[in-house]
Every structure is written in structure tokens, then in C-alpha cells.
Amino acid sequence: MTQSGILDTEQAPDLERARPADDVTRVAVSTVIFSLRPCADGAAVVLPLVRRTRDPFQGLWALPGGWLDAAEGLDAAASRTLEETTALSPSYLEQLYAFGDVDRSPTRVVSIVYWALLRPDEIADAAERENVEWFDAASLPRLAFDHNDIVDYALWRLRNKVGYSRIAHGLLADEFTLAELREVYESILGRRLDPANFRRQAEHSGTLIPTDRFRTGSHRPARLYRYNQDVELADRGPLTGSSTK
């Protein structure tokens, strides 16, 4: 609690060198990947976790991630550590929040958490990795570190965001029926939606474009829709283009 303030900010490498090692704050990157898995009830929100093979929290499940390399940007670190641990390379990857409570780890670690959405077919294409399993977000075991809190926060953001953005598209194929779209919303929100109300709202949202194609099968044919591509899926505003730095 010194009076250093901005005057010292982003300088003082000499001071850093003199610090004891237990005073060092390190930066890690973790990613919450959400997808949907069909279940008796419709679909469940699922996420991949990695089993820890050493202490702290040996044997517990944790979010995929790793240390930030001094020579790479945050977005690059998120992509790299995710690919290394799970072999997943989602196209939609967005910074979620930085978690930095003092007691969240035995040593001082600030974790920059990213999140991503994967369509079911993107999961099927990924190579299997040892110590990686998919879990139902609604019934997680006790995770390592504060990772239960992180998943809770990501689920909350997902539920909020689905209300004002076309984020559900990240969980769907390019073309989908309104029933399939409603199922995504129901899985995220954890409750049933009235089919007629949902259809009316979806058709008036301006974000859906009807196609000339229909899904046929055991039910009556259902029209396929696609999202209006003029609306960015992950609108990062002025950050666009800085992701590879």
C-alpha cells in the first residue's frame, strides 16, 4: 500500500529483481468452453475439464489453461494452452474476466479467463486427449482452485448475453430450425420457453433469415433459418484485429 501510483507503473525492473520470490504475481490463462450435448430432457450445457496430475489439487478437475508466455499476447496464450491441453481450436474465443483474489491459489496467480462456444460437430472432430473429459455444467464436482466460481460466472454471462446477442449461433450449425434454436435457449436458461412466443420473437428479431430449405423427418417439415451474417458474432469493437499480437 505505497504511494507509488502511476509514477511507478510499468517501470521499476530493478525493484522487481530485488523482490522475494513469494512476492511474485504470475499470470495464467484459462478457458471455459461451452457446448451442448443431447440428453433425455433436450440438451445439456457441457464443458471440457482437465484432470490435474500434480499438486496443488492433484486428481481434481480444472479448466484447460497454462502460464502466459512472456513473448505472447493474452489471446494467443489462450488459444495455445487450450489446444495443448484439449486439442480444441474454437473459432469463437473471447476474454471473459480476470480472476485475482489473493487466496485463489497457494501462490499468487492472476488468471485471465477466456470463454468459447463449440458446436457439437466441432467437438466430434477434435482428437481425444488423456485426462480430458466433458462435464455437465449443472452438476460439476469440486474443481481445483476457484474454478467452480469461474464456471458459475461464465454461465451467468452466457445466460445474460443470450438475451441481447446472437451468441446462441456459436452452438448451432449454420442452418437450424426454430425448435433447435429454442432448445439452445432452453439449455442455457435452464427453463422451458413457450414455442409460439419464441417463434414470434425470433421472427421479429431481425437477426434470423429464413431459407427455402426444410428439415424433414418424423415430424412435419420445419423451415431452416440462418443468422444474419451482417451482425458480428463476437463484436469486440476497437479490439478487432489485435487478437494475434
Q: C-beta of 157: minimal distance to a second copy in Å?
A: 7
Nearer to a second copy, 156 or 214 (CB): 156
Residue located via cell numbers 529483481: 17
HEC string of 14-78 equals: HHHHHCCHHHCCEEEEEEEEEEEEEECCEEEEEEEEEECCCCCCCCCEECCEEECCCCCCHHHHH
Q: C-beta of 189: minimal distance to a second copy in Å?
A: 14
C-alpha cell at position 46:
457441457
Q: C-beta of 145: minimal distance to a second copy in Å?
A: 6
Q: C-beta of 179: minimal distance to a second copy in Å?
A: 27
Nearer to a second copy, 32 or 178 (CB): 32
CA distances from residue 196 to 24, 200, 201, 214 in whole angstroms, order as listed: 57, 6, 9, 19
Write down how long the chain is: 245
Nearer to a second copy, 12 or 189 (CB): 12
Nearer to a second copy, 77 or 184 (CB): 77
Q: Which residues pair with 153 in a beta bridge?
A: none
Nearer to a second copy, 24 or 173 (CB): 24
Question: Count of CB atoms within 10 A of residue 55's CB?
Answer: 9
Q: What are phi and psi of 34, to 5 degrees?
A: -105, 140
Q: C-beta of 10: minimal distance to a second copy in Å?
A: 4
Nearer to a second copy, 7 or 40 (CB): 7
* Spatial contact of 86 and 50, defined as CB atoms under 8 Å apart: yes
Q: C-beta of 94: minimal distance to a second copy in Å?
A: 10
* Spatial contact of 112 and 164, defined as CB atoms under 8 Å apart: no
